[in-house]
Structure 1
Amino acid sequence: MPSNKPTLDAADAVGDTVTGRDRAVDVARLGALVVVMFGHCFLLLATINADGLQIGNLLGEIPAMAPLTWVAQVMPLFFLAGGAAGAYSWRAGTPWGTWLVTRAQRLCRPVFWYLAAWTVGLFGARMILGAESAAGIGRESVALLWFLGVYLVVLAFVPALTRLQTWRGLAVLIVSLLVAAAAVDGVRMAVGTPESGVANFVIVWLIPMTIGVAYARRLIGPRAALVVAASALIAQIALAVTGPYEVALVVTGAERMSNVSPPTLLLALHCTWMSCLFVAAAGAIGRWAARPRVWRVVSVGNGGAMTIYLWHIPAIAVAMFTLHAFGLDAYDVHAPGFWGLLALRALVFAIVMGVTFWLLSPLEHRRLPWWDGPVGATGARSTGAGALICVAGVALVLMAKDGLDDVGGWTALGCFLATAAAARVCAGTNTPGAPAPRRQRSSVGSSRDFEPNRQTRK
């Protein structure tokens, strides 16, 4: 039976840092996770009444708070961390698809546990709460998996991005992506449907991924990054004031044109300045993280990063429903004591999330039979495996969009599992006479599923 200890002790964690971790990336990942989970804790409004489960959004109720999302929207840091870690792990000559499958093995392992738990839970909710309430839970339960789906797709570009050699090439690529994002927005506005802007899921999220690769390969220095960050932030402010875009950078449920589903040029500029601001501050962040007490917290948190990301919404639900049982709902923003009840929910959530982390984070490191076996395909089999991983990522995005509340969502779930399994089959056989790619050694004190990094920047 595995231990419930998510990482090794602090001494081992610090030792691992000395031998090759990029501590700044680990801090960025964990800091972003903290912002995301408490941000959702404050944004989600829910209660149960005679009509069943009611779900709302704080920004939808108080639109004046929308500018705060420019600080709270930290998803660019996840993609930047993935780009940096992918660049650190990539070795020239490694079969592309096989490399991508090894990354997907670590990423998808806890996702399988999560989806299995929700499949059982939703059938139970249907019997206890009714079909309509179960449908609402099904929509929310997998909504955050859009990130993992897009992440799998853009991660596939990392080996190509490592071919960037100069900051000029980086600048040309970033500008090109921004122009492409603007062009897709133009088509979306002309057609009038969100579906016409889906290309921006890749275009926009490639920006922080690209900057992460450039950071790992030292193509952009702190001063240049600071200049780019300031320029992108000014452009974003100007566009928000004069352009046709919403201010909020998260889903509110009340927006006319979402900036995130699919992404827009406004979010692309946000990705640019936030990623470059990290690059400018990375040296100071890394030195701060070198302190043993700080690194212990960062190490433990990264050791269960996927647990935090996947399970914080269920933990929020547990906190909400526990308080509901005592008549302490934080749902009506105009009710007396609403903000105090919201703070109480955050406290209860922190306790529930701590218990959840302790119980479930070991699953991130428990190898699954067959799925986590060695892979070594080359040639066409490797390419096919990589392509199937990308298809699996698209299926995850579709499942997140539709939710597990109708045939479309459950079909997308089936497609994700089928294509992931097919990719594993393709990658599991080595071409006769060809050496198997060297498997990357996992590192101590970091979530392997959030792409642990390999280098320490001086």
Structure 2
Amino acid sequence: MPHSRLAAGATPNPREVADDAALGRDRAVDVARIGALVVVMFGHCALLLATIDSSGVRIGNLLGALPALTPLTWVAQVMPLFFLAGGAAGAYAWRNDKSWGTWLFSRAQRLCRPVFWYLAAWGTGLLAVRLTLGASSAQGLGRESVALLWFVGVYLVTLAFVPALTRLRSGRALAVVVAGLLCGAAVTDGIRLAVDDPWAGTGNLLIVWLIPVAIGVGYARRLIGVRIAVVAAAVALTAQIVLVFVGPYEVSLVVTGAERMSNVSPPTLLLALHCIWMSCAFVAAAGPIRRWAARPRVWRAVAAGNRGAMTIYLWHIPAIAVAAFALHGVGLDAYDVDAPGFWWLLALREAVFAGVMVALFRLLTPLEHRPLPWWDRQAAARGVRSWVAGALVCAGGAAVVLMAKNGLAEPAGLVSLGTFLAAMAAARVCAGSARGLFRQP
């Protein structure tokens, strides 16, 4: 990427952001990323049912209360677009003369910088909660505070496969890889059902989410034509519909709290088919999306949003909590779906949440682009040290997934946190550095 005129940590000027970001960008990928973020954050805000009574905080789920809405999750489950965007961006950035581990660590530097700030803030906050409200309150909050970090962990590991995927030279080779991953997801589901243990399907965290990454690489390398993408999307969607009727799978593609077999925790074959049709639908629509994003006003908004993408992802759950409990303070809970005016109260919460999120975005986005001492020195290792650095990044990603599962205040979660930090620090040492040089923000 060319050198940005924006100073690290400065408040971005929308026009300057757009001018810098447009150079060498695939605007369709950036639209997919920010569009998916918007769906995720407002979707999470809509799903939350929360109130406080004499027994304490009560949390519910809109889909658990109204199961008839679960088919909407087939549109609202947009996580495949994040992984597709990551695969495409990685493919654009990879060059065959680069060292794999050093390249992977360089990608991890940008991704982990806001995560470090996020963990530091929550670590301080949870300590204060433990000292004032007790261990049980800190444990509950600690579980929720890091639940969404599963994406960061899985994303780091899937990025490690991008250089290998760029070696594919034809759409047929890509189809073989995707078909192999689909078969792997089916076998993993079979094992999960045979032993009746959801965590026997943990392997699908990698297998399923590699599918949109592979399609993203194929899109960036122009291995997928529009007609093939349309046909593949139609076939995958049809197979997904059939599988719901003939298989053991439930309809919902998000966590509801009432499901017998979750399709996302861990992922299933049903979600794998969803990844295929949604990713291929993007490939088919990428041309019109790119032309729409070329409009100056649209591109300024897209570029500015992508500049703070990790801020939006990491901090939207705290923003939802602020909006929900602020409205509770004035008696405007959206909790009982049968209460008069429930949908108006839910819409009000969405509006308040949007205001809170805008404030957090403006406040915290500069942290994404402020280089951290030592951490952000440009990686320069080659050979064995580079491979070790890459392996440590993958180990750190696995530790983040475990931390997201166990929570930040539980002993197992704290061990996972320590493992993540130690692995990334060791990767930093192994990746070496060009003395005095920082990566471009």
Aligned partner of 2:386 in structure 1 is: 382
* Residues 54, 267 of structure 1: alpha-carbon distance in 2 compared, 3 angstrom cutoff: same
Aligned partner of 1:419 in structure 2 is: 423
2: CA distance, partners of 1:108 / 1:341:
36
CA shift for structure 1 position 11: 5.2
Aligned partner of 2:265 among 254, 261, 265: 261
Residue segments in structure 1 that go unaligned for 5+ positions in a row: 431-435, 443-458
Aligned partner of 2:15 among 10, 17, 22: 10
Aligned partner of 2:314 in structure 1 is: 310
1:209-264: CA deviation from partner (whole Å, max 9, x where unpaired): 00000000000011110110011000001101221001100111111111011100
The runs of 4+ residues in structure 1 deviating greater than 6 Å are none
Given that residues 18 and 300 in structure 2 are in contact (C-alpha distance below 8 angstroms), is that contact kept between their aligned partners in structure 1?
yes
1: CA distance, partners of 2:46 / 2:130:
27
Aligned partner of 2:345 in structure 1 is: 341
* Residues 96, 354 of structure 1: alpha-carbon distance in 2 compared, 3 angstrom cutoff: same
Given that residues 329 and 341 in structure 1 are in contact (C-alpha distance below 8 angstroms), is that contact kept between their aligned partners in structure 2?
yes
Aligned partner of 2:4 in structure 1 is: none
CA shift for structure 1 position 325: 1.0
Given that residues 399 and 412 in structure 1 are in contact (C-alpha distance below 8 angstroms), is that contact kept between their aligned partners in structure 2?
yes
Aligned partner of 1:115 in structure 2 is: 119
Aligned partner of 1:224 in structure 2 is: 228
Does the alignment pair 1:154 with 2:158?
yes
Letter in 1 for 2:291: R
Aligned partner of 1:106 among 103, 110, 113: 110
2: CA distance, partners of 1:226 / 1:129:
54
Letter in 2 for 1:150: V
Aligned partner of 1:405 in structure 2 is: 409
* Residues 325, 279 of structure 1: alpha-carbon distance in 2 compared, 3 angstrom cutoff: same
Given that residues 10 and 295 in structure 1 are in contact (C-alpha distance below 8 angstroms), is that contact kept between their aligned partners in structure 2?
no
2: CA distance, partners of 1:327 / 1:172:
56
Aligned partner of 1:172 in structure 2 is: 176
Letter in 1 for 2:14: D
Letter in 2 for 1:339: W
Letter in 2 for 1:352: V
Aligned partner of 2:283 in structure 1 is: 279
CA shift for structure 1 position 16: 4.2
* Residues 5, 141 of structure 1: alpha-carbon distance in 2 compared, 3 angstrom cutoff: same
1:267-317: CA deviation from partner (whole Å, max 9, x where unpaired): 000000000000000000000000001001101101100100000000001
Given that residues 4 and 358 in structure 1 are in contact (C-alpha distance below 8 angstroms), is that contact kept between their aligned partners in structure 2?
no
Letter in 2 for 1:363: L
Q: How does 1:47-446 map to 2 (within 5 A)?
A: 47-428=51-432
Structure 1 counterpart SS, 2:147 = coil
1: CA distance, partners of 2:397 / 2:372:
20
Aligned partner of 2:35 in structure 1 is: 31
* Residues 372, 132 of structure 1: alpha-carbon distance in 2 compared, 3 angstrom cutoff: same
Residue segments in structure 2 that go unaligned for 5+ positions in a row: 1-6
Given that residues 249 and 270 in structure 2 are in contact (C-alpha distance below 8 angstroms), is that contact kept between their aligned partners in structure 1?
yes
Letter in 2 for 1:114: Y
Given that residues 13 and 296 in structure 1 are in contact (C-alpha distance below 8 angstroms), is that contact kept between their aligned partners in structure 2?
yes
Aligned partner of 2:3 in structure 1 is: none
What TM-score, normalized by structure 1, do the two folds share? Answer: 0.92
**Higher RCO (Cα < 8 Å, 6 or more apart):** 1
CA shift for structure 1 position 14: 3.6
Structure 2 counterpart SS, 1:102 = helix
2: CA distance, partners of 1:89 / 1:241:
42
2: CA distance, partners of 1:11 / 1:303:
12
Given that residues 240 and 246 in structure 1 are in contact (C-alpha distance below 8 angstroms), is that contact kept between their aligned partners in structure 2?
yes
Structure 2 counterpart SS, 1:144 = helix
Given that residues 52 and 129 in structure 1 are in contact (C-alpha distance below 8 angstroms), is that contact kept between their aligned partners in structure 2?
no
CA shift for structure 1 position 124: 2.0
Given that residues 7 and 299 in structure 1 are in contact (C-alpha distance below 8 angstroms), is that contact kept between their aligned partners in structure 2?
no
